[in-house]
Amino acid sequence: MISHRSVSSHTPVLLSETLRALAVQPGGRYIDCTLGGGGHAATILDHSSPGGQLLGIDADPKAIEVAQERLQHYKNSILLVNDNFVNLQSICIKYDFSPVHGILFDLGLSSLQLNGNGRGFSFQYDAPLDMRFSPHQKVTAADIVNTAPEAKLAHIIREYGEEIYSHRIASHIVKQRPIKSTLELARLIEQAVGSRRGKIHPATKTFQALRIAVNHELEYLETALRQAVDLLGFEGRLVVISYHSLEDRIVKRLMQREARGCICPPGTPSCVCGHLPRLRLINKKVIKPSAMEIDLNPRSRSAKLRAAERVITQGDCYDTTEDQAFITIAKSRGWRRPALMKKIRMAFLAA
């Protein structure tokens, strides 16, 4: 286990496993799409030095502030952007930051957001029902809870919280609104479904559902993952840590699909899709935290890490046999930046 100083109170999850999965190397270029407290970013910068560069993105301006302070030692190697990772591609175009050696998504919330700081993410602290990652977003959890029709509310709680009592909860909410605070909502859910449900608090699933709906988490994740695959250079790594089954399903499906050749429906006599693999799965099974890590950091207990590596397909900048031969040579010399490799090759051919 790699040791790390915790300037912020967020402890990075699966840290050594993330570094290994990203295959961090000196001089590499990395994107941390979920900068949070900057814990993963600091370790990536440590291991990519000398010459490493990191683009850090977070939708939450407070996270950027905290990470900026934590990463000031690396100020010449970082670029921190307060934006949503759904805009990953345009951010990279704006800052001319591609292709890259690795992209990390460590999804969900940081401890900075969860710990009673008035953001409304947790039912353990009283706060207004907000739950937005960014103050620039228009819709808050209170807007959804207090204005959505009952059927829509039940749908959100069912789909994004996988809550079997979604209808009962939605009906209680509608009868008792307006609901202003986290504790008010948590109490109401307890009344609706009872206070004991195994180990988890009865409000856990509804809070997860509202947070996902407020931040469009699932749609944005899928869009950003697709963009990430495009931004990876040859042998670049995509690493995603997810914390619940809805996120993990999206990551798993996307990686598996991108790792397959033909994706024609079963029974199609011959391939009509022309799909080519763009990824190779690094770990077929998810990587989970050890018992020791869970003991030290209980918030890591639901983490699942998946990683994949970019492979070259026709239609990338290498599409001839000659190109493939060039890639083999370049690979044997450890060159991993396709655009640069292509430029060198063109210069070599023109000479």
Ligand X SMILES: C[S@@+](CC[C@H](N)C(=O)[O-])C[C@H]1O[C@@H](n2cnc3c(N)ncnc32)[C@H](O)[C@@H]1O
Binder among 59, 80, 255, 307 for ligand X (CB under 6 A): 59
Tell me how far the alpha carbon of residue 90 is from its chain's centroid.
Answer: 17
Question: Which one, 43 or 166, has the nearer CB to ligand X?
Answer: 43
Residue written as tokens 């000479």?
A: 351
Shortest reach from residue 200's CB to ligand X, in Å? 19
Q: Is 131 in the site for ligand X (CB under 6 A)?
A: no
- Cα–Cα dist 2/12, whole Å: 11
Three-state helix/strand/coil letters over 195-258? CCECCECCCHHHHHHHHHHHHCHHHHHHHHHHHHHHHEEEEEEEEEEECCHHHHHHHHHHHHHH
Pick the piece of the chain touching ligand X (CB under 6 A) from 38-46, 140-148, 328-336, 340-348: 38-46
Question: Which one, 7 or 259, has the nearer CB to ligand X?
Answer: 7
Binder among 17, 58, 247, 258 for ligand X (CB under 6 A): 58
Q: Is 30 in the site for ligand X (CB under 6 A)?
A: no
Question: Which one, 34 or 53, has the nearer CB to ligand X?
Answer: 34
Q: Is 227 in the site for ligand X (CB under 6 A)?
A: no
Could you give the count of Cα atoms lying within 13 Å of 221 in the half-sphere of its Cβ? 27
DSSP 304-334: EEEEEEE---TTSS--SHHHHHHHHHHHHTT
Which residues are bridge partners to 104 per DSSP?
Answer: 32, 239
Instruction: For CA atoms 212, 215, 218, 224, give the dihedral sign.
Output: negative
Question: Which one, 60 or 323, has the nearer CB to ligand X?
Answer: 60
- Cα–Cα dist 46/299, whole Å: 24
Binder among 102, 108, 202, 233 for ligand X (CB under 6 A): 108
Shortest reach from residue 278's CB to ligand X, in Å? 22
Pick the piece of the chain touching ligand X (CB under 6 A) from 36-44, 122-130, 170-178, 188-196: 36-44
Q: Which two tokens stand for residue 244?
A: 């619940």
Question: Which one, 217 or 309, has the nearer CB to ligand X?
Answer: 217
Q: Is 39 in the site for ligand X (CB under 6 A)?
A: yes
CB-based contacts of 155: which residues, under 8 Å, 6+ apart? 166
- Cα–Cα dist 225/249, whole Å: 13
Binder among 29, 56, 71, 84 for ligand X (CB under 6 A): 84
Binder among 20, 52, 54, 60 for ligand X (CB under 6 A): 60
User: Site residues for ligand X, window 193-222 (CB under 6 A)?
Assistant: 220
Q: Which residue is nearest to ligand X (CB)?
A: 36
Shortest reach from residue 133's CB to ligand X, in Å? 4
Q: Is 335 in the site for ligand X (CB under 6 A)?
A: no
Categorise residue 205: left if φ over 0, alpha if ψ from -120 to 50, beta otherwise: alpha
Binder among 28, 37, 102, 233 for ligand X (CB under 6 A): 37
Binder among 74, 85, 121, 160 for ligand X (CB under 6 A): 85
Shortest reach from residue 180's CB to ligand X, in Å? 23
- Could you give the 3-state DSSP secondary structure of residue 7? coil
Count of residues engaged in binding ligand X, rule: CB under 6 A: 22
Shortest reach from residue 269's CB to ligand X, in Å? 41
Categorise residue 315: left if φ over 0, alpha if ψ from -120 to 50, beta otherwise: left
Shortest reach from residue 90's CB to ligand X, in Å? 13
Find the DSSP H helices in the chain: 15-22, 39-48, 61-70, 88-94, 111-114, 141-147, 150-161, 166-176, 182-193, 204-215, 217-231, 245-259, 291-296, 321-332, 338-350
Binder among 20, 29, 40, 336 for ligand X (CB under 6 A): 40
Q: Is the peptide bond before 178 cis (omega within 30 degrees of 0)?
A: yes
Residues that bind ligand X (CB under 6 A): 10, 12, 34, 36-40, 57-60, 63, 84-86, 106, 108-110, 133, 220
